[in-house]
Amino acid sequence: MQWKNQGKLKKLILTYLAGSALLTVGSGLRMEWINRRGNDTERGRKRIRALMGQGRFQQFPLFSLDEIARERKLGQVRLSVFLRDTEEDWEDKSRIRQNRRVIPANSESSGAKNKSAEEMKCINKCGKSDRRKFAIICPGGGYAHLCTDKEGYAIAARLNELGYSCFVLEYRTGFAARSYAPTQDLARAVSYVTEHADQFDVDPEDYALIGFSAGGNLVGLYGTEKYGWKAYGTAKPGAIIMGYPWTNINHWMDHPYWNIWKGLIGLYFTERSNLYYFGIRQSKAKRDSVCVQKWITESFPPTYMFSGAMDVLTPASHHADVMAQALEEKHIPCLYHKYFRLPHGIGLGIGTQAQGWLEEATEFWEKETGQT
């Protein structure tokens, strides 16, 4: 009888492991299929080609050549500028192209700091249009790499269509991300854009930070006083916009997984990112420092957020739900959508339950900053 019961238990365990593994693989394949349909990466490429044809596309390092020479990892940090269209005609494209220059940020040798608004307008061609708020976009990638096409350029292209200028930040990843380097890069980007608001023809107040997955973790941290805007002395964001954010870094096991394989996936990505962020020597205090929900105070910006219950990498129940609860406890304005069938990495979400989220997010942003 004992052997028979052990055999049944073994069979039950093997059935569970095999069944949950098949479900996990199926979820991964489904995620890939939906991502290919929903990201609309071609939209971003078309927008870049259009801006280049108009002589308005700018992409430059955020650190000077001297700084990069001293620390080569700083060369990873770039800002891509997507300026919104205005009502002006573009008949003088040849003159604009002749005057187009790549302007490295904070570079004495380039003369970027000394350029006048008139010179920049020859590049930006924003002229007499009314200024609007801007957004900085932080793609995801688990702090290992960046998904810039689907979570950067495509989002920027759609924001341009909605009438916003925006900036895609390529921050440091991999082992270059140690010692909160991505947060430092975001602070540099915010400072640069706000200091050059006249040249980019944007309103420096009430800007939005948009982040996906690990980029959601980054913009969430920047919304806190302890690790974000206040610590770096920059303007406070007007809104935080997060897509399937990876926020509950150190405490994801507080919410049990019925699927062991999803738990192992969470363990892998968590430990990999902690290794990139803190190296081999880690502490609970360091790991807690990147759990966004632990650092939310009454000053945290209004937050728009969406996530999916079928997300294999950052399930809503373990990340966005926890974040939403923390925001509610501090009475922070929050609009949160949890979609049952939504996977990870959908970007614009064309053809998914979340389609149109960016339009809703910009409406939320405008409402919370008093512009509607």
The residues pairing with 210 across neighbouring beta strands, listed in sequence order, are: 137, 241
Q: What is the pLDDT of residues 233-284, one digit of tens each?
A: 999 999 999 999 999 877 656 656 677 887 787 778 778 888 888 888 778 7
DSSP H/E element including 46: helix 41-53
Tens-place pLDDT, residues 342-371: 888 899 999 999 999 999 999 999 999 986
Residue 105's closest CA among 84, 135, 74?
74
- Counting every residue, how long is the chain? 372
Q: Identify the domain containing residue 159 by its residue range.
A: 2-368
Residue-level pLDDT at 341 = 85
| Mean per-residue pLDDT over the chain, rounded | 85
Best-predicted range by mean pLDDT (32-41, 89-98, 247-256): 32-41
Quote the CA–CA distance of 352 and 336 in Å, as a whole number: 16
Q: Sorting pLDDT into bands at 50, 70 and 90, what band is 228?
A: very high
Least confident of 38-47, 101-110, 145-154, 327-336: 101-110
The pLDDT tens digits for 142-193 are: 899 999 999 999 999 999 999 999 999 999 999 999 889 999 999 999 999 9
Q: Model pTM? A: 0.85
Number of separate domains in the chain: 1
- DSSP code string of 158-209: HHHHTT--EEEEE---GGGGTTTHHHHHHHHHHHHHHHTHHHHTEEEEEEEE
| 206 vs 272, higher pLDDT | 206
Domain CATH for 197 = 3.40.50.1820
Note the pLDDT of residue 20.
80
pLDDT per position as a tens digit, 102-120? 444 554 433 334 434 444 4
Q: What is the mean pLDDT of residues 76-104?
A: 63
Q: What is the pLDDT of residue 109?
A: 35
